[in-house]
Copies of this chain bind each other. A is one copy, B any other.
Amino acid sequence: MNSFGTQFRVSIFGESHGECVGITIDGCPAGIPVNPEDFTADFNRRRSGGKGTTPRREPDQPKIMTGVFNNFTTGAPLTIMFDNTDTRSRDYTKLRETPRPGHADFTAWKKFGGFEDYRGGGHFSGRLTLGLVAAGVIARKIIAPMQVSSKILEVGGKTSIDEAIDEAVGKRDSIGGIIGCTVTGVPVGLGEPFFNSVESLLAHMMFAIPAIKGVEFGSGFAAARMWGSEHNDMFISTEGKTATNHAGGINGGITNGNDIEFRVAVKPTSSIHGKQHTINLVTGQMIDLEVEGRHDTCIALRVPVIVEAATAIVLADLKMLLAKGA
């Protein structure tokens, strides 16, 4: 299903080349201030235009349709929509029978029996993350004083990002990257036992973001190569502060008051310039496919703000769950 969360629940809808994309937030507390300019900075971070990103330029103007009255949330569902304007459907129709490698074309076709809106990735398009970013703007207000920040750690295996992009553009190829995320101001006790550990919920959400193929908390995969005596974080305050943070701020699935730390791996953009070999699903013949249209050289560049928004959404839900009680 296309929704996530228990108390602060987001539901996403829309297609890349249909009328709109959007999101509904259900369970948002009443009285949160919401102004149009609140969204600007995060949308600018997500928007295309930088080196290595596609030149598609939507205005990305959020239309707050419901749930806000006199610039405050009302407690009713908050629906935010984005019109699709800069759509060039002709780029995509010829791909119908020849699934693009790395994309959801094949799986969507099979799962939805050919009824899916295939234009520009349809419901699988990265454009759907606009709604996540919008919901993240609201979520950040709810989770304060927690603050989420995310940044590129490397792209194409290099920390010199400009250089990596230039090389990929030169090769007409694409690259991926690794993104780190830190949450500060975290209270002790977020997370629910067993199945709804903080790691479980954050990872669930992260793997909903297109192109993410790995998630690790604290030392993550490196922890598997450490000694226990080295990995264990020594408590140094009665508030739970630890001398190191190999656990990424989470013990037993529950926040321990230290910063939450995690990293995600973003695969290289699936759309690349140049010929790729694929199969024609109708004729069964292998053909050469050239994916036209606009591509990001490195989609990872746009992902940090999405990771932040997604993280804030999960934490808003967990904070509201923590507030419950008898």
Contact = CB atoms under 8 A, between A and B. Distances in A.
26 contacts: A11-B11, A13-B24, A15-B66, A18-B65, A20-B65, A22-B79, A66-B123, A72-B115, A101-B233, A101-B242, A102-B251, A103-B252, A106-B256, A107-B191, A107-B240, A155-B224, A173-B227, A174-B227, A174-B228, A200-B203, A203-B207, A214-B217, A216-B216, A232-B270, A235-B279, A320-B324
Interface in A168-193: 168, 171, 173-178, 188-189, 191-193
A50 interface: no
B31 A227 contact: no
Contacts of A210: 252
A1 B238 contact: no
Contact of A123 (B2, B21, B76, B219): B76
Nearest to A116: B74
Given A175-B227, A227-B171, A267-B231, A281 B238 contact: yes
A224 B76 contact: no
Copies in the complex: 4
A264 B113 CA distance: 33
Contacts of A81: 65
A60 to B, nearest CB: 17
B13 A76 contact: yes
Nearest to A144: B326
Contacts of A251: 102-104, 106-107
Nearest to A177: B224
A149 B221 CA distance: 20
**Central interface residue in A193, A267, A286, by most chain B CB within 10 Å:** A193
A104 B235 contact: no
A300 B228 CA distance: 12
A1 B19 contact: no
Contacts of A255: 107
A301 to B, nearest CB: 12
A311 interface: no
Interface in A98-144: 99, 101-104, 106-108, 110-113, 115-117, 122-124, 128, 141-142
A156 B29 contact: no
A124 B252 contact: yes
A157 B252 contact: no
Contacts of A223: 176, 213-214, 265-268
Contact of A112 (B74, B219, B228, B238): B74
A3 interface: yes
A39 interface: no
A252 B289 CA distance: 19
